[in-house]
């Protein structure tokens, strides 16, 4: 005997309460509206938006098949040695590292395809937005450094010196160069030459030093003499800019490798430059604090 539903509303626990069995039209789940909107926007985008974002050619070639030769400049990710002319999977002759990444086939869409298209579609003047953005960024970085650093904390030289060497100097160098490193990592095509990278790093360091000096004279030495004033306004910008240019030189090598080999930039390869800049910066602070300990505060 066929059972007829007594009601087909949303509270009916039987199969006749399912959406497709109800008499009224199915309005859909409201929680799915946002997902439908997102899918609609994604369908409206060109296919290249997704085809170049991640490609199997950019994945590690863990099990290479056959004897494939690296037919273009391709650096070892461990030491930077050019592996061109070697077989895929051959250990690096310089350091013995087994490079798992290989150049994608010429016909495959990859990071290099995306990079070429972005370079062609982006005007060269776009780099000036990055250069201009580094001016306010230096001030922001100085503010963050003042909040998380120890430069404004009153403590004796013996306690402050280790903090400066191990924490404050590396933190300042990282903050000053952060915007330039970020652009190289996600938008390397904005830079067409090396000098805007150096200029951006120098401008960020300059505004960092100016903001740092302004805070120093306002909070720590409001009645400073002429000698200290001249020293701070000449020496601090010079030291900050010089250290940032050291990091910028390491980032330039990363950027050049990205454009020449058409592969994602490895910003972590610039860590050596960052550590060198931090060491130079810390050495300057160490000399300054040591002189202050021997001759007293210079006010």
Say if CB 263 and CB 112 are below 8 A apart. yes
Asked whether residue 81 is assigned to any structural domain, the reply reads yes
pLDDT of residue 250: 96
Asked whether residue 67 is assigned to any structural domain, the reply reads yes
Residue 147 and residue 269 share a domain: yes
CA atoms within 13 A on the CB side of 161: 13
Asked whether residue 24 is assigned to any structural domain, the reply reads no
Residue 272 and residue 133 share a domain: yes
Q: What is the pLDDT of residues 33-67, one digit of tens each?
A: 777 787 787 777 766 555 555 555 566 665 556 67
Asked whether residue 19 is assigned to any structural domain, the reply reads no
Domain that holds residue 195: 122-295
Say if CB 247 and CB 201 are below 8 A apart. yes
Say if CB 142 and CB 207 are below 8 A apart. yes
For residue 87, what are the contacts with CB-CB under 8 A and spacing of at least 6?
Answer: 67, 68, 69, 70
For residue 148, what are the contacts with CB-CB under 8 A and spacing of at least 6?
Answer: 171
Residue 289 and residue 144 share a domain: yes
pLDDT of residue 162: 64
Asked whether residue 69 is assigned to any structural domain, the reply reads yes
Residue 281 and residue 157 share a domain: yes
Residue 132 and residue 88 share a domain: no
Q: Which residues of the chain have pLDDT under 50?
A: 1, 5, 8, 152
Q: What is the pLDDT of residues 146-188, one digit of tens each?
A: 776 655 455 555 555 566 666 788 888 999 999 999 999 999 9
Residue 132 and residue 100 share a domain: no
Distance of CA 206 to the CA centre of its chain: 20
pLDDT of residue 164: 63
Q: Give the helix/strand (H/E) hosting 245.
A: helix 226-261
Q: For residue 90, give the DSSP letter.
A: P
Report residue 151 as tokens: 């430069």
Burial class from Cβ neighbours inside 10 Å (0-12, 13-18, 19+) for residue 1 reads exposed
Residue 166 and residue 77 share a domain: no
Distance CA 176, CA 164 (A): 16
Say if CB 283 and CB 170 are below 8 A apart. no
pLDDT of residue 87: 85
CA atoms within 13 A on the CB side of 111: 22
**How many DSSP H helices and E strands does the chain contain?**
9, 0
Say if CB 153 and CB 80 are below 8 A apart. no
pLDDT of residue 59: 62
Residue 203 and residue 83 share a domain: no
Asked whether residue 199 is assigned to any structural domain, the reply reads yes
Asked whether residue 98 is assigned to any structural domain, the reply reads yes
Own/partner long-range contacts of 192-198 (Cβ < 8 Å, ≥24 apart): 192/119, 192/124, 192/127, 194/252, 194/255, 194/256, 196/127, 196/130, 196/131, 197/248, 197/251, 197/252, 197/255, 198/245, 198/248, 198/249, 198/252
pLDDT of residue 229: 85
Q: Which of 83, 109, 135 is the last residue of a domain?
A: 109
Distance of CA 23 to the CA centre of its chain: 57
Of the candidates 221, 202, 197, which has an alpha carbon nearest to the alpha carbon of residue 135? 202
Residue 276 and residue 150 share a domain: yes
Residue 219 and residue 84 share a domain: no
Q: What is the domain count for the chain?
A: 2
Residue 223 and residue 93 share a domain: no
Residue 232 and residue 195 share a domain: yes
Asked whether residue 31 is assigned to any structural domain, the reply reads no
Query: Radius of gyration over alpha carbons of the chain, in Å?
Result: 29
User: The whole model's pTM is what?
Assistant: 0.74
């Amino acid at each position: 005997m066929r059972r007829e539903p007594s009601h087909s509303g949303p509270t009916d626990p039987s199969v006749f309460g399912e959406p497709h069995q109800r008499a009224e039209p199915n309005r859909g789940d409201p929680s799915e509206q946002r997902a439908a909107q997102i899918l609609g926007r994604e369908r409206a985008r060109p296919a290249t938006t997704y085809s170049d974002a991640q490609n199997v050619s950019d994945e590690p070639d863990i099990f290479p098949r056959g004897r494939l030769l690296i037919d273009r400049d391709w650096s070892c990710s461990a030491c930077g040695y050019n592996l061109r002319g070697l077989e895929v999977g051959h250990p690096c002759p310089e350091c013995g590292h087994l490079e798992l990444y290989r150049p994608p086939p010429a016909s495959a869409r990859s990071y290099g395809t995306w990079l070429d298209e972005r370079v062609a579609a982006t005007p060269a003047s776009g780099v000036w937005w990055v250069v201009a953005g580094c001016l306010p960024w230096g001030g922001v970085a100085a503010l963050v450094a003042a909040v998380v650093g120890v430069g404004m904390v009153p403590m004796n030289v013996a306690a402050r010196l280790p903090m400066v060497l191990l924490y404050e100097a590396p933190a300042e160098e990282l903050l000053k160069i952060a915007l330039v490193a970020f652009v190289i990592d996600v938008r390397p095509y904005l830079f067409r030459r090396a000098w805007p990278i150096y200029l951006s790093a120098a401008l960020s360091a300059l505004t960092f030093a100016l903001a740092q000096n302004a805070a120093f004279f306002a909070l720590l030495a409001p009645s400073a003499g002429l000698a200290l004033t001249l020293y701070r306004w000449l020496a601090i910008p010079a030291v900050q800019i010089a250290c940032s240019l050291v990091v910028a030189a390491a980032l330039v090598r990363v950027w050049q490798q990205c454009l020449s080999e058409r592969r994602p930039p490895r910003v972590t390869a610039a860590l050596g430059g960052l550590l060198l800049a931090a060491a130079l910066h810390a050495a300057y602070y160490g000399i300054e604090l040591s002189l202050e300990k021997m001759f007293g505060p210079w006010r």
